[in-house]
Amino acid sequence: MKEISGIKEIVKPGNLAYKKSGILTDEIMHYCPGCGHSTAHRILAEIIEEEGLQQETIGVSPVGCSVFLYNYLDIDWQEAAHGRAPAVATGIKRLLPDRFVFTYQGDGDLAAIGTAETIHACNRGENILIIFINNGIYGMTGGQMAPTTLPGMKSSTSPYGRDVRTMGNPLKMTDIVATLLGTYYVTRQSVHNPANVRKAKKALRKAVQYQKLNKGTCFVEIVSNCPSGWKMTPVQSNKWMEENMFPYYPLGDLKIPDMLPDEQSKTE
């Protein structure tokens, strides 16, 4: 690879604001340019490292774009069948109740084929963290319509736009699980600009801390872009997401526990 001129001058210890998390491996990620997955991976890796959780974490990777997630984070992993990650995580957590167990799933995986597993794991209040990346499309298989695809949105299986009369309306899984008694903390975030990355990281850290209390399922949706699937440039896709996805999937907390973890520990 051709060296960028002056890079050695710029990249020197005194100038570095960020450090690569030790939880991230050196494997080259396979994601398309501008995709939100890699950013979500990074903040997750940073939190696992900062919270000192590597030795007690077991992740469950899905079928979808993030199928190779186990190559990128240096923790123990189980690869689940399509949609079954919450059931697999249930098995792990029930057998190893003192471990930190999370799933990382896309919208096809979580909101279509895995709807039953998702709702029932949340309804039982399984003490797991579910990270839900919602980009409104099946990315890995080439941009087909997902349950989360917006009305009128074009995809390879809704080439004239999603017609809600025959294809149904987008499913708001995060809103559904927030109504269940088994969930403890439910939030919706995005990672498309630095401000939102910081907010998402804060929310994800809270979810990880809440999870350690074993008081129910924590659920973090990250509304994300899919430049390739949406047939846009990364910049266009982020703009389109702000204008179209966020009104339908508004960012913010949907369910917050009465008390923060540190307050809770004081009262117990």
Partner 1 sequence: MKQELRLMKGNEAVAEAAIRAGADGYFGYPITPQSEILEYLMDANPYEKTGMVVLQAESEIAAINMVYGGAGCGKKVMTSSSSPGISLKQEGITYIAGAELPCLIVNVVRGGPGLGTIQPAQSDYFQAVKGGGHGDYHLIVLAPASVQEMADFVELAFDLAFKYRNPAMILSDGAIGQMMEKVWLGPQQERSKTVPEWATTGKPPTRKRNIITSLELDPNRQEIFNQKLVAKYNEIREKEVRFEEFQCEDAEYLLVAYGTSARVCQRSVELARAQGIKAGLLRPITLFPYPSKQINKLADKAKLILTVEMSAGQMVEDVMLAVNGKVPVHHYGRMGGMIPTPDEVVDNLKKLIKEI
Footprint of partner 1 (CB under 8 A): 54-58, 60, 67, 70, 74-81, 84, 87-96, 99-100, 116-117, 120
Q: Which is nearer to partner 1, 177 or 200 (CB)?
A: 177
Distances from the Cα of 15 to the Cαs of 7, 12, 43, 129, in angstroms?
11, 6, 21, 35
Q: Which is nearer to partner 1, 122 or 200 (CB)?
A: 122
Q: Is 227 helix (H, G, I), strand (E, B) or coil?
A: helix
Q: Which is nearer to partner 1, 107 or 126 (CB)?
A: 126
Q: Where are the beta strands (DSSP E) in the chain?
A: 57-61, 76-79, 100-106, 129-134, 137-138, 144-145, 183-190, 217-223, 252-255
The enclosing H or E element of 238 equals: helix 234-240
Q: Which is nearer to partner 1, 122 or 133 (CB)?
A: 122
CB of 101 to partner 1, least distance (A): 9
Q: Which is nearer to partner 1, 79 or 175 (CB)?
A: 79
Q: What is the C-alpha to C-alpha distance for residues 102 and 119, in angstroms, rounded to an integer?
A: 15
Longest C-alpha distance within the chain, in Å? 59
| Region label for 32, one of left (φ > 0), alpha (ψ between -120 and 50) or beta (otherwise) | beta
Task: Report residue 78 as tokens.
Answer: 């189980």
Q: The dihedral of CA 229, 207, 72, 194: what is its sign? A: positive
CB of 30 to partner 1, least distance (A): 10
Q: Which is nearer to partner 1, 23 or 218 (CB)?
A: 23
CB of 188 to partner 1, least distance (A): 25
CB of 132 to partner 1, least distance (A): 18
CB 211 within 8 A of CB 93: no
CB 101 within 8 A of CB 72: no
Q: Which is nearer to partner 1, 200 or 208 (CB)?
A: 208
